[in-house]
Every structure is written in structure tokens, then in C-alpha cells.
Structure 1
């Protein structure tokens, strides 16, 4: 006769095995980038390459012999990431750490100046870096822009537009904008791009912390920016696309998620949350797969085109571009 203690001990093991099988079954639907073409001689620039999706994207590119520029706010962390990759891939492509703070126009300008002095062309620019912070903290960029708007959109807007000539020299080349399907929850209010109203509501506790309008709005701006840039670069050989890595386990939400949230979200995490490596597959696909060369202005998820629920407005697209240019030139919020 089996004792009750043995039965009780077996139950957790059975549950763990069952959950593992469910996750394995679920992950079969998460596509992988099948292109494994050698990228020797090509230069990839990744913002935020020292951790999470950026790090896994860099690993995949280095494995394909690419030269990768790690554009990171903390150069020490970039060097640590490079050391880690070198241990795993001693014969991979060249890795170059460079300092870039997307929350500072001055830093962006210095970075671009150094890149242009050291590189004749950039084959692929991957706008990966992003922030997700509680709105109640009311954080700003160096120029005073709301942090999500200033980093996730405006910083990458400025960086990309200043690197366009290097991208054209590498034609056929690509810009990959890492967005999210959360862009479908965003809205663009040109009267309050810095979210003064939302921030006040958040400070007063009238907005749930999990509802981050700053992040969702910036992801919508990412897609509008991608569409506008794709139109402007049509015929130049520079493809511009956006993608959603999916719901991934990274440190993006480190300022908003507490330990008990992980327990509450465990069932969802098992079914839907990807690892950073799994999430990076779509980024690598957009950056390297030759089957989509010449395709521009599109949005991808799970290594295939995704149809957004947003009814994109050309007038909003053009206005966002114009306003962004004006804000960069003025160097201060409206």
C-alpha cells in the first residue's frame, strides 16, 4: 500500500511535469527565424543590446558572424554582455560597446558623431531599447519630455533620422523598430504628448498601475514612425518594419512588477510568456531574413506579418513626424 506521504510528494511533481508539457506544447506555435545566412561584413546597430531582447538579438547576429554595435546607456554593462557572448561564442562576429543615452539629445548627437567617424555604413539599425516605468514617478528626459515619449519614441526618432545616410550607403539595408501589440491600446493626443493629465491621475491613485498610457502611446508612436519613415525612404533600398516580440520575460517591467505579481501571473506566464531568446526570434527575422527583403512599412509578430486593429490615420502619421522634428529642433517640450 502506498503511503499518503508518497502520494502528497508525487502531486507537486506531477503538476510540474504537466505544466512543463503544456508550455512545450504552447511554445510550438512560437515561430523561429529559420534564416541562418552568414552576415560577415555587415554592421548591425542595436540600442539596449546589453540585456533582454537586445542581448539575445545580439547573440543571434554574432553567431551569424555579424559586426554588432552595442549602443547602451551603461557602457560597463555593455562590456559585461560582450564578455559573456565572447565566452559562449569565441569565434563569432565583432562586438563594439558604445555609450548612448536615448534620454539625452546631446548623448544621441555625440553617439552619431562617433558612429559616422568610425563607420562608412550601417546595414541594419535595430531600435530595441525601451522604458516602462510607473507614471506616478513622473520621470523626464534630460530635455524635460515624459520618459516613455522621450525615450521610446523621440530618442529613437532623432537617432534614426541622423543615421539615414549611413543606412542608404548600405542599401539594401533595414530599420527594425521594436514595438508591441500594446500599441493597439495607445492613443496620440497632440495637446498632451507629455501626459500631464495621466500623470496627475496616476499620482492621485486614480489610474491602475498596470495601465501605463505612456508605454502604450509610445508603442503606437513607434508604429506610426515606422510607417512614415518607410514612405519617406521608399525606393532607396532601406526597408523599415516594426515588430512585436510577444509577452516576454525581461527586465523591462522591473520598476512596476513586485514579487507577488509573478505568483499571480504564473498560469498566464506558463501559457503565454516567452523567454527573451524566444522573443528575439521575430527581431532577428525582421533584421536578417531575405524572404522579406524589399518589403517595407509592415508589422511582424511570430515571424510573420501581423494585422493591427488600429485604423491608421495618414494625417496623424504626418503630424507626428512634423511635431517630432519641431520638438527635436526646439529641444524642449511643448
Structure 2
């Protein structure tokens, strides 16, 4: 019998591969064992839900579920043709004909204002506003039409402006809910108050930063609306296989494909916070896997959150004639 010697390189490669495989298996087991599911059969008849970014992923599954529960749904979509296709498919699937598609590009302040004006003209109430839309770029540095870094413009400033413009209608609709989709990734990022338009920062890391911004926005919003009957709930969908991760390189793409939640699983906490009567009157809380979770202390700094809010007002060019919160 002939034996072939194993080189140090082969041994090292095998060891690294074993660590990666073991790590992926552990991630898979942990993620699948912690998935939260919302089993309630509560209805949403007579409720109007406005959701941004519902053409695919978590937003699509959220719309599908709420449509089954009888909600009237306004889909705010950047790609209007795709939005219409999704609407027609869900209407056929659920039998719910009360689904409307309206044009909205959250990265454009002009588009946000035009969308808000149309909602204020045509809608009598909004029972649930879901800030679901988001974007992430791996490396391409882009600016919005307003000269704002694209990830920040879409993930924070757009929802911030839209909330302000719709706040009077929301107050008239109370009790109602505002749901802000964030991420557990807020734990690894920090908002730099000295650079709130970071055009030279690595774009994909800015996705994490904007998830921190979402939490800061939600906490300050809840604080400012504490004397109203508008609840503000912040949601972590968990690590979900959506378009945001479609360009993740090997071997991380294996973890995304085989271990991350699918879109239905990722939508469960959003659905719970939109539907559950148990959350009536609850505000300023963060939910993950259908359970309330404590936020890290650094993101609950009220002084910093207030400053961030005030600077966001400037970035969104809010006018004296605009509603204030």
C-alpha cells in the first residue's frame, strides 16, 4: 500500500474548511431553532394598512398575510409595473380586492411629498403604517436626486419625511400603529452625528448604520407621540434570505441560502406587530422573533436621539408649513 504525504497547505485548507462547515451548521441550527411564528387568526377587516416596499421579500409576505385577514392595503412601490403584477397576483390568491398600488421612491424627497399629498387627498385614515422598504449596496457609491447618500436617503430620511407629512392623518386615525423595520445589525453600527450624509463611506456598512438610525428614529418618535394613541413599534425580522443578500460571496451565500429565514418566516414579527390586539397601547418597544427584546443601551441615548432627529429635519428640508411631530 502506498501512502501520499499531506502537505501543510492541504492540512490548513482542510482545517479551515472544517471550521467553515461546522460554523454554518451551528448557524443553521441556531437560526432555525429561534424562528418566531405568529399563529393568531385575528382579522383586519375595516383596517387600512400602508406599507412601503411590498414587491418582494418580507414586504410581499406581509401583504399576502394581511390581505388574507381582510385588510385594505396601500402598496407604496418604486417599481409601479411590478407592484401592479404583485397586487393582481395577491388579489387572485386571497380574494381580497382592496389592494391599491401607488408610486413612491423613498430616495426622492419630491416623490415622498407627491405620494403624501395623494394619500392626504384620497384617504380618510391609516390604521397601520409599515416602513418596510430598504436598500443596501455592496460597493457602488450612489447619491439620491437630493444629493444624499442613497442608503441613508432610502432607509432613513425617506421614512422620516413621510411620517412627518402623514402625521396629522395618523393622529385622526388613532388608535393606530407605526411599524419601523430595523435589524439586529444595529448592534454593530453607530450613527455619526458629525457626518449624516456619508458619501465616502463603504455602502454596505451604511446599511447597518441605517438600521441603527431606524431604532433611534423609532424611539424618539415614540417619545414625541407618547400623549397620542399612536403606537410606534420597531421590528427585527431576523436574518432573512431577501434581495439585500443576493450578492453575498461564497461561502457566506451558503449560509444565506440554507440557514437564513425565508421571507415568510422573516415577515412573522412584522405581521404580529401589525395585527395583535395584545399590543394595543404598547409603544417604543423592539420586537424580534415575535417577542419583545431589550435594546442595547447605546441606542437609547435620548440626547443623541434628539440631536439626530433635529438634524434629520434639516436633511429632509422640512418646511414651516409642514406638520411637526
What is the TM-score when the length of structure 2 is the normalising length? 0.85
Deviation at 1:29, TM superposition (A): 3.3
State the 1:46 CA deviation. 0.4
Displacement, 1:148?
1.3
Q: Do 2:28 and 2:255's aligned partners in 1 also have CA atoms closer than 8 Å?
A: no
Q: Could you list the per-position Cα deviations for residues 191-217 of structure 1 after superposition, in whole angstroms to 9, with x for gaps in the alignment?
A: 222224424xx8xxxxxxxxx321111
Aligned to 1:232, which of 205, 224, 239? 224
CA drift at 1:330: 7.0
- The alpha carbon displacement at 1:189 in A equals 1.2
1:100 aligns with 2:104: yes
What do the CA deviations read for 1:49-72 (whole angstroms, capped 9, x no partner)? 111111000001000000000001
Structure 1: distance between partners of 2:166 and 2:76: 13
Q: Which of residues 317, 320, 327 is equivalent to 2:308? A: 320
Q: Which residue of 1 aligns with 2:176?
A: 173
Counterpart in the other structure of 2:248: 257
Q: Give yes or no for contact 2:48–2:126 (8 Å, CA) kept in 1.
A: yes
Gaps of 5+ in 2: 1-23, 320-325
Matched residues in 2 for 1:132 and 1:24: separation?
A: 27
SS of 1:198's equivalent in the other structure is: coil
Residue in structure 2 matching 1:190, options 188, 193, 197 = 193
Change (3 A) 1:265 1:75: closer
Q: Please list, as runs of the form range in 1=range in 2, the aligned pairs for 1:1-334 lying within 5 A after superposition.
A: 27=32, 29-90=34-95, 92=96, 94-134=98-138, 136-199=139-202, 212-254=204-246, 256-258=247-249, 261=250, 264-267=252-255, 269-271=257-259, 273-311=260-298, 312-329=300-317
TM-score by length of 1: 0.83
The structural deviation recorded for 1:184 is: 0.9
What root-mean-square deviation, in Å, do the aligned CA atoms of Structure 1 and Structure 2 show?
2.2
Q: Is the 8 A contact 1:133 1:253 kept in 2?
A: no
Preserved CA contact (<8 Å) 1:125 1:176: yes
2:314 is paired with a residue whose SS is helix
Is residue 103–residue 147 contact of structure 1 (8 Å, CA) maintained in 2? Answer: yes
Paired residue secondary structure (1:98): strand
Distance in 2 separating the partners of 1:27 and 1:64: 26
Shift of 1:267: 4.8
Q: Could you say if the C-alpha distance between residues 269 and 315 of structure 1 is closer, same or farther in structure 2, counting changes exceeding 3 Å?
A: same
Q: Distance in 2 between matches of 1:104 and 1:320?
A: 20
Shift of the 46–267 alpha-carbon distance from structure 1 to 2, 3 Å rule, reads closer
Indicate the SS of the match to 1:239: strand
Deviation of 1:269 after TM superposition, in Å, equals: 4.7
